Amino acid sequence: MAGHDSFSPGTVRDRPARVFLVCGHRMEQQALREMLAGEALEVAGATGSAAEALSAIPVLLPQLALVDTALRDASWIRVCRRIWDASPAVPCLTLGSLGTREELRGSILAGARGHAVRMVRGGDLVRRIRAVAAGEDLFSAGEREAVLSELRLSQPSPALTSTERRILLDCARGCSDTEMTRRMGLARPAFEAALQRALAKLGYPATAPRDPWPAALRA
């Protein structure tokens, strides 16, 4: 997945975009606000709460949701997928710590249009925000196929059920939760439980495993 790290969209024009920040840390929210304001990007809203984000985004309809991979109260993958289900016109860009294979795989499973690394800020993050807000998908076909191949061969412990593997494969193919529940004939609670079990088996917990930030800096 090295191609994603070298993204450099020279054809994306500078344009105003409204961004909603889903980030659990007040200090980072403020840093992002200041950086985006300096690039003529509008912050439509910001919260560290998944519930607040899922309530506000369908009302505000920003051009993009920037979702932190270290949310404390919910799975960032599930938050992205719920944003997509409730507001299909609002794409997500995930913001992680290291740009690891696990983060990139999770971002694709989340239905996000790209992934950014918080340690690589400034121009790179701004270009990614503008590109995704303009409708681009920053993941290549090769990156998506690599995730699909990995999921077909993956043998986590405990093992994936056939239903869980099918759900993960459809997530990686770009299917929404609504599409999958209809096609599989599953009630929404049963589908969400199966998806969360499958994600947990791949190492994606329901909430962030730990919070390294001091309590005074939290939102």
Closest of 120, 59, 68, 52 to residue 90, by C-alpha: 59
Global pTM value: 0.86
pLDDT in tens, 184-205: 999 999 999 999 999 999 999 8
- Which residue has better confidence, 122 or 18? 18
Average pLDDT value for residue range 120-130: 84
The hierarchical CATH code for the domain 142-201 is 1.10.10
pLDDT in tens, 87-109: 999 999 999 988 899 999 999 99
Q: With 60 as the cut, is the pLDDT of residue 218 above it? A: no
Say what the pLDDT of residue 110 is: 98
Q: With 90 as the cut, is the pLDDT of residue 79 above it? A: yes
Average pLDDT value for residue range 158-175: 96
pLDDT in tens, 19-59: 999 998 888 899 999 999 889 899 999 999 999 999 999 99
Confidence band, pLDDT 50/70/90 cuts, at residue 120: low
Average pLDDT value for residue range 58-74: 94
Residue boundaries of the structural domains of the chain: 2-6+17-139, 142-201
Distance of alpha carbon 134 from alpha carbon 70, whole angstroms: 26
Please, which residues have CB within 8 angstroms of residue 165's CB and are 6 or more apart in sequence? 151, 152, 154, 198
Q: Ramachandran region of residue 179, left (φ > 0), alpha (ψ -120 to 50) or beta?
A: alpha
Do 2-6+17-139 and 142-201 have matching folds?
no
One-letter amino acid at 55 equals: S
Q: With 70 as the cut, is the pLDDT of residue 80 above it? A: yes
Q: With 50 as the cut, is the pLDDT of residue 210 above it? A: no
Q: With 80 as the cut, is the pLDDT of residue 66 above it? A: yes
Listed in order, strand segments (DSSP E) in the chain are: 18-22, 42-47, 64-68, 92-96, 114-117
Q: Does domain 2-6+17-139 have CATH number 3.30.413.10?
A: no
Q: Residue 106 to residues 55, 59, 72, 203: CA-CA distances in angstroms?
A: 23, 26, 16, 10
Confidence band, pLDDT 50/70/90 cuts, at residue 215: very low
Say what the pLDDT of residue 97 is: 85
